[in-house]
Amino acid sequence: MEPLSPKGCSINTATLGFKVPIGRVIEQIASHGFGAISPWRRELVGQNVRAVARQIRDAGLKVSGYCRSSPIPALTSDEREALHSDNCIALVEAAELGAESFVIVAGTLPDGSKDIEGARDQAAQGIDRLLREAEKLDLPLAIEPLHPMYAADRCCINTLAHALDICMAVDSSNSRNIGVVIDAYHVWWDPNLTAQISRAGAGRRIRGFHICDWLNPITDTLMDRGMMGDGVINLKQLRRSVIGAGYCGFAEIEIFSDRWWKRENEEVLRSCCRALNDISI
């Protein structure tokens, strides 16, 4: 039996809808007994990152991840450089927070482009460059493949297999400073999922495990994720695979949802705690 307690879970702050300042969010997450937090860059704008890091530590929380990269592909080299520089700033913030990894959502087609292969090449090259910067900071990177429905507007890396191929390609020294995030919402449909989770585990590349549920039907591609247990994903089986592949980090709850974002944070966090029973194995 591997029950899942709040202590073994992280709250990705997107779950709480960015309604209150990060300082309050930290207090709320800690007060419900969760073990970690995964903040977003937008919450740290204008904040003293070191002070936020201290507050997180003092609250007894780890930082399971830091969300997330700006897109990598762009139409011109100037734009590409600007995005790279912005991502380098984010790497420093992630390191100051003591994040277990910096999450890469690669981006995709620049406006007007139809060249997804080109976008994928740029993404792989950009990740390679970011890895060199992250290694100077001793900060692991985690590529998060997004569901193929986002291939046009958010991310051109759409399967765990593709994300792992990029890890292998850029990590020539096999440092394992780069791995993947397995997000249930993005990968549950994949017929190769079990094999790719095993592959990720064998390469010691599982850097994050995000959970929520896929409601059937979804009413919005982005803002209609479900609470664990409310949808069609076999989260118990998925968690069994991820643990079986050697992952022993946090299960990170990440629920983008207009419905949940309308509720008080306290109610959402209580519901998250209750829903953990659904993925105890």
> In the complex, which residues of this chain contact Zn ion (CB under 5 A)?
183, 210, 254
- Cβ of residue 254: shortest distance to Zn ion, in angstroms? 5
Please report how close the Cβ of residue 180 comes to Zn ion at its closest, in angstroms.
Answer: 11
| Min separation Cβ 221 and Zn ion, Å | 14
Please, which residue, 224 or 254, has the CB nearer to Zn ion?
254
Buried b (16+ CB within 10 A) or exposed e, 84-114: beebeebbbbbbbbebbbbbbbbbbbbeeee
Residue with tokens 């050697």: 246
Note whether 43 and 70 are within 8 A (CB): no
What DSSP letter does each residue of 7-38 carry, written as one string? GGEEEEGGGGTT-S-HHHHHHHHHHTT-SEEE
Nearest residue (CB) to Zn ion, 31 versus 234? 234
Of 183 and 213, the one with the shorter C-beta distance to Zn ion is 183
* Total count of residues recorded for the chain: 281
CB of 110 to Zn ion, least distance (A): 23
**Cβ nearer to Zn ion, comparing 11 with 74:** 11
Alpha-carbon span 115 to 249, nearest angstrom:
37
Q: 74 vs 94, which CB is nearer to Zn ion?
A: 94
Amino acid sitting at position 15: T
Name the minimum Å distance from CB 179 to Zn ion: 14
